[in-house]
Amino acid sequence: MKSPPRLVVVANRLPASRVGHGPGIRWERSPGGLVSAMSPVLEDRGGVWIGWDGGAGPAPRPGRVGGVDLRGVGLSRSEVEKYYHGFCNTTLWPLYHDAIVNPEFHRSWWEPYIDVNRRFATAAARAYRRNNLVWVHDYQLQLAPRMIRERKPNARIGFFLHIPFPPDELFAWLPWRSAILRGLLGSDVIGFQTQASAENFVRVAKRYAGAEGTERELTIDRRTVRVMACPISIPAAEFEKIAASPSVRRKAAEIKQQLGGRKMLLGVDRLDYTKGIPLRLHAFHELLQDRKLSVHECVMVQIAVPSRESVPGYEETRREVELTVGRINGEFSMPGKVAVHYFRRSLSREDLVAYYLAADVMLVTPLRDGMNLVAKEYVMCRDDGTGVLVLSEFAGAARELRRALLVNPRDVETLKKTIVQAVRMRESDQRMRMAMLRSNVRRHDVHDWSRAFLEAIDD
């Protein structure tokens, strides 16, 4: 039987970080959905992962973790500021998330974006061997597919966008729209989280890059580019295994006890303005004011993972969240009964699963999200069949998890009614909905996602 082709993964960040000092320095695998998704595939096929280590300075020495070869790309301090904080996270990120905050278009950020993409493409070309598959990931590297093809014309190249692709009336704002599109169209296959994002891309590729074709196949420069919706998922079996662990179950029971046995509403998000955390808190605040819920019955736990805190919009979000939490607790907390528990830090996967097990209601209410894997993680941890998922209709996961309670997070009145519905839902209804949600995630886990995309490149 023919062995599968070796894989060259090109992503903004490496799947591991360096820990220790001097001769004792070593690579340690990082948490995160992309790492969980790609590491098993790389270990099975063999290959190399090209990425940045997150710091300013020269590229780190090559390393190896979990059977995966690592090749670092270095960024200068200026490039971290202009390429990463600037163009990636102050231009592209807000634009691709429906311009929730105004994107900024600074010409001085564009050249560093080109330079860094070229550096990644050069590293990929050096790592490439005949018949390898090259898989480029996400908005930070949209120019890289074309640059890799210029160096390796016969390479099979795939690109996957993990965030939404905006409608044409928003993408049109981008002064460098044609160059971005030509970069992406250097791929053989371009994947998106939803069909809507794929259709948005096809429209702008025809309008601004001269591509021709259908919703599934475009032609440009006498090459065919396949466009597909391929929603990412989670390692479902891994989460089920962690949720069944006696130590994790004990931790979940301790959390419930510490909260006084009250019904727990849980939010787990990066501290990002796209996640809708302030609106979620305002809805809970009003429910307490309206006496539809009380601190004797319910408690909210918000876990906010720090994210890009040097970017101005993120600092404002953090300040609003912390002020709102303080206001709610000042008004409604009682001795031994805090209304909102707020944690601004990362948790280990085991601790996170313990919170999923303890939570009666999971609130996943982003204003815009490519997918949102937290929703799928919660579902797979609910092995007793109970629990209610309240899910924003603007998360990519809403296309699959239709038995969740879907909500428009900007409609605070309806969000409030949905939270009350979730808190009061009969156990029989919970079990019916959760069984369908779990079946969906189990059928379409992360291994199905990577297999489907790689088969498309390999075809």
Annotated catalytic residue within 53, 137, 138, 162 = 162
Q: In whole angstroms, how large is the CA radius of gyration of the chain?
A: 22
Q: Quick check: 50 and 368 in contact, CB under 8 A?
A: no
d(CA 66, CA 29): 8
Decide if 445 is catalytic.
no
Residue position matching structure tokens 């971290």: 80
d(CA 107, CA 293): 50
| DSSP state at residue 131 | T
d(CA 232, CA 234): 7
Query: How open is the CA angle 290-291-293, to the nearest 5 degrees?
Result: 115
d(CA 105, CA 237): 43
Q: Closest by alpha carbon to 236, among 449, 384, 408?
A: 449
d(CA 72, CA 74): 6
Q: Quick check: 61 and 5 in contact, CB under 8 A?
A: no
Q: Tell how many helices (H) and how many strands (E) occur in the chain.
A: 17, 18
Which residue type does 135 have? W
- DSSP, residue by residue, 246-269: HHHHHHHHHHHHHTTT-EEEEEEE
* Helix (H/G/I), strand (E/B), else coil: 331: helix
> Is the Cα dihedral 7, 13, 17, 22 positive or negative?
positive
Which residue type does 268 have? V
Where would I find the H helices in 216-333? Answer: 236-243, 246-258, 277-289, 312-332
Instruction: Read off φ and ψ for residue 222, nearest 5 degrees.
Output: 60, 20
d(CA 383, CA 364): 19
Give the CA distances from residue 65 to residues 13, 70, 172, 451, in Å, rounded to whole numbers and listed in that order: 14, 8, 41, 22
Annotated catalytic residue within 188, 269, 272, 369 = 369
Decide if 188 is catalytic.
no
Count of other CB atoms within 10 angstroms of residue 306: 13
Q: Quick check: 279 and 321 in contact, CB under 8 A?
A: no
- Residue numbers annotated as active site: 162, 369
